[in-house]
């Protein structure tokens, strides 16, 4: 006899995501969902029972809402199979794909359908999609929303993709007005094109020159523009990959004024520092850039204070050739860091040393991104939520070996770095992820998934 569960997980350490710290629980799973949270010694039975010891924490599966998958069109940079395999290895059970770097960009319903066709049958984890806002596609926003995108993304500076041009302040405000009526967020790459152009691009291998070409003011000015556009329109804006700690007081002030505004940062901004980047080390290039140690510590304070809402990868893949690994020329190198598989141990290593808990990490990397994307069944270990779990050994450690990275090109700024925390396993809707049997679903905002 069973209790009607398909799976029972007995775990002396569970992070539910409700802010209650670690609890001991038996988790009952039925039809891919969490059906019950019971006392650890409850005599529930099921055809499959997983007994965890105290070295492993049962966490909500991570949700990464900022991932660039370049298929179709640039699959040699990254594809759905490789990206979702890396995600699963890193404890991620859901990711949301950005609307650029594939061909075509996801700025119309027809382009979204091509993206879905490319992803079908390949995904190890669940995948949702952001739509794009570019000049001239205002009429596509409602149809894209109706077709199931989870929200929208725009740039205020050149995106690196010619078919995804930046929008003006006015176009951003207009889009926020449209999306306000849809209840949909607008994610904004906040760097000022005008301020960056006035400074000019850096050339050569010196990281200090590249950093000087993208000072905090370039980011701060754009974030001011986002705040005022959200204030005037009443729309919901989200600042992606924030690197300038100067902007944190502005964001906090806008929220006190009632502006609908959230913000994220990324493992590279919370882990790396400008002082440690050697000249010519283009694996570290991203935009906005990695800044100084003092700036990094203020970003951690932003997480503590709740001004930064979430931490996501901004997984931005590129070949070694695109990263100019041979030449070391920062001006010519692709700007982006691929860290999909490493995000959890990177953040846990930094968080643990600063006195944060795994509950904090789950809030930043599971519940927060799920909330941004409107994924109401993701991000917590709770009744009615999808049975998506990360089995995490927080007291184990490992050294980053590029040969063990699953995304398509293992170009990384982290080789040889010792990290705390090992992902022991990843469970999607109640079943361990099997690389030979992709079960990831394509998520749609229409379903309120």
Q: Whole-model pTM?
A: 0.97
Tell whether the model's pLDDT for residue 260 goes beyond 90.
Answer: yes
Of the listed ranges 62-71, 330-339, 358-367, the least confidently predicted one is 330-339
Residue whose structure tokens are 């982006």: 336
- In which order are the strands placed within the sheet that holds 126-129? 62-67, 92-97, 126-129
Convert 252-272 to b/e letters by CB count within 10 Å (16 or more is b): bebbeeebbbbbbbbbbbbbb
Q: What is the number of structural domains in the chain?
A: 1
| Backbone φ and ψ of 18, nearest 5° | -95, 5
User: Per-residue pLDDT tens for 379-400?
Assistant: 999 999 999 999 999 999 999 9
Q: Which residues pair with 94 in a beta bridge?
A: 63, 126
Model confidence band, residue 202 (pLDDT cutoffs 50, 70, 90):
confident
Q: How far apart are CA 115 and CA 293, in angstroms?
A: 39
Tell whether the model's pLDDT for residue 1 goes beyond 50.
Answer: no
CATH code for the domain of 158? 3.20.20.140
Q: How far apart are CA 166 and CA 32, in angstroms?
A: 41
Q: What is the DSSP letter of 157?
A: S
Residue 370 lies in a domain: yes
Residue 237 lies in a domain: yes
Tell whether the model's pLDDT for residue 18 goes beyond 80.
Answer: no
Tell whether the model's pLDDT for residue 449 goes beyond 60.
Answer: no
Q: How far apart are CA 368 and CA 366, in angstroms?
A: 6
CA atoms within a 13 Å half-sphere pointing along the CA-CB vector of 338? 30
Range of the domain at 100: 61-375
Kindly report the average pLDDT of the chain as a whole number.
Answer: 95
Residue 398 lies in a domain: no
Q: Are 9 and 39 in contact (CB under 8 A)?
A: no
Report the pLDDT value the prediction gives residue 446, as an integer from 0 to 100: 61
Q: Which residues pair with 22 in a beta bridge?
A: 15
Q: Which residues pair with 96 in a beta bridge?
A: 128
Residue 16 lies in a domain: no
Q: How far apart are CA 69 and CA 323, in angstroms?
A: 17
The beta strand positions in 270-417, using DSSP E, are: 310-311, 389-399
**Crossing angle for the helix pair 247-256 and 293-305, to the nearest 10 degrees:** 20
Residue spans of alpha helices (H) in 200-325: 207-213, 216-233, 247-256, 267-271, 293-305
85's enclosing H/E stretch is helix 80-89
Q: Are 143 and 134 in contact (CB under 8 A)?
A: no
User: Per-residue pLDDT tens for 83-130?
Assistant: 999 999 999 999 999 999 999 999 999 999 999 999 999 999 999 999
Report how far apart, in Å, the C-alpha atoms of 436 and of each of 26, 61, 81, 86, 122 are. 29, 20, 11, 14, 10
Residue 406 lies in a domain: no
Report the pLDDT value the prediction gives residue 3, as an integer from 0 to 100: 79
Q: Which residues pair with 239 in a beta bridge?
A: 188, 263
131 Cα distance to chain centroid:
15
User: Per-residue pLDDT tens for 136-174?
Assistant: 999 999 999 999 999 999 999 998 888 999 999 999 999
Q: How far apart are CA 32 and CA 48, in angstroms?
A: 13
Residue 120 lies in a domain: yes
Q: Which of 127, 68, 131, 126 is nearest to 102 (CA)?
A: 68
Residue 132 lies in a domain: yes
Report how far apart, in Å, the C-alpha atoms of 225 and of each of 192, 207, 256, 384 are. 9, 28, 17, 39
Higher-confidence position of 325 and 362: 362
Tell whether the model's pLDDT for residue 51 goes beyond 50.
Answer: yes
Report the pLDDT value the prediction gives residue 365, as an integer from 0 to 100: 98
Q: How far apart are CA 274 and CA 276, in angstroms?
A: 5
Residue 291 lies in a domain: yes
Residue 292 has which token pair? 């100084």
């Amino acid at each position: 006899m069973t209790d009607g569960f398909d799976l029972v997980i007995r775990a002396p350490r569970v992070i539910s995501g409700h802010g209650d710290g670690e609890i001991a629980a038996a988790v009952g799973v039925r039809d891919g969902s969490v059906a019950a949270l019971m006392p650890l010694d409850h005599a529930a039975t099921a055809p499959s029972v997983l007994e965890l010891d105290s070295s492993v924490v049962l966490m909500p599966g991570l949700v990464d809402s900022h991932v660039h998958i370049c298929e179709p069109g640039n699959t040699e940079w990254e594809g759905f199979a490789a990206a979702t395999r890396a995600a699963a290895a890193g404890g991620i059970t859901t990711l949301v794909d950005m609307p650029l770097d594939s061909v075509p960009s996801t700025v119309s319903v027809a382009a979204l359908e091509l993206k879905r066709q490319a992803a079908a049958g390949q995904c190890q984890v669940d995948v949702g999609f952001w739509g794009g806002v570019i000049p001239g596609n205002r009429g596509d926003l409602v149809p894209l929303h109706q077709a199931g995108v989870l929200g929208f993304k725009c740039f205020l500076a050149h995106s690196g993709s010619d078919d995804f041009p930046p929008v003006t302040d006015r176009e951003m405000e207009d889009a926020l007005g449209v999306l306000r009526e849809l209840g949909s967020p607008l994610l904004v790459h906040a760097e000022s094109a005008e301020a960056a152009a006035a400074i000019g691009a850096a050339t050569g291998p010196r990281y200090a020159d590249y950093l000087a070409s993208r000072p905090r003011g370039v980011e701060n000015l754009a974030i001011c523009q986002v705040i005022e556009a959200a204030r005037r329109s009443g729309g919901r804006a989200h600042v992606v990959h924030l690197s300038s700690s100067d902007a944190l007081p502005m964001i906090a002030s806008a929220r006190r004024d009632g502006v609908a505004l959230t913000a994220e940062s990324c493992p590279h901004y919370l882990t790396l520092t400008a002082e440690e980047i050697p000249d010519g080390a283009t694996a570290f290039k991203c935009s906005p850039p990695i800044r100084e140690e003092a700036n990094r510590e203020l970003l951690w304070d932003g997480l503590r204070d709740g001004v930064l809402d979430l931490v996501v990868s901004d997984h931005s893949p590129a070949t070694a050739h695109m990263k100019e690994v041979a030449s070391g020329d920062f001006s010519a190198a692709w700007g982006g860091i691929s860290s999909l598989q490493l995000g959890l141990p990177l953040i846990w290593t930094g968080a643990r040393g600063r006195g944060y808990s795994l509950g904090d990490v789950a809030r930043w990397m599971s519940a927060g991104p799920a909330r941004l994307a409107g994924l109401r069944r993701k991000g917590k270990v709770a009744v009615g939520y999808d049975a998506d779990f990360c089995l995490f050994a927080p007291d184990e450690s490992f050294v980053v070996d590029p040969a063990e990275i699953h995304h398509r090109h293992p170009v990384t700024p982290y080789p040889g770095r010792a990290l705390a925390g090992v992902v022991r396993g990843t469970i999607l809707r109640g079943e361990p992820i099997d690389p030979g049997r992709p079960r990831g679903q394509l998520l749609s905002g229409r379903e309120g998934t």
